[in-house]
A = this chain, B = another copy of it.
Amino acid sequence: MTRAPEPEEISDVAGLLEELFRLSRRLTPPGNYSLTVYSALASLKRHGDARLTALAAHEGVSQPSMTQAVGRLKREGLVQQVPDPSDGRAVLISITDTGLAALAARSQRRSEGVAELLAALDATDQHSIIAATGALRRLIDAVPDQRPDGK
């Protein structure tokens, strides 16, 4: 049980990740915020306040894209943007109570969708998925933040 993953197992995982995107979209009704916007919001909740550049690097989008995403969140009161007292160039983005509530509502809806899907599986499958969530989260955390200029 300590052998290294075989190439076929790795490509299985890679193919799976591709298909999971489809699932992720289906759990996101159109008309809501984009996946990126929510991902950024979730990141602010999980990791605390962040600079715009750091947020863009973490989400893997360009700085201007994040400027626009944050602009929208700001207009709708889900985040606040304050100047960084220690650096006149920088701004700090933080999630508001409204933002936390929006995130919670969305999580609730998504959980309901996932619960329905899980219910279609047998107990063995359910438990192997649940057993793998921690590992998958660590897999995601292994994704390095993008360097702004790709250097």
Contact = CB atoms under 8 A, between A and B. Distances in A.
Contacts of A140: 16, 19-20, 22-23
A19 B36 CA distance: 10
A82 interface: no
B129 A136 contact: yes
Interface residues of A, number: 63
A16 B137 contact: yes
Nearest to A145: B26
Copies of this chain present in the complex amount to 2
A12 B114 CA distance: 10
A24 B18 contact: yes
Interface string A42-80: 100000000000000011100000000000000000000
Given A13-B129, A16-B140, A22-B39, 11 more contacts: A4-B126, A5-B126, A5-B127, A10-B118, A12-B130, A13-B118, A17-B110, A22-B60, A125-B139, A128-B134, A131-B131
Q: Which 6 A-B pairs have the closest CB atoms?
A: A132-B132, A125-B135, A120-B142, A14-B114, A14-B111, A14-B110
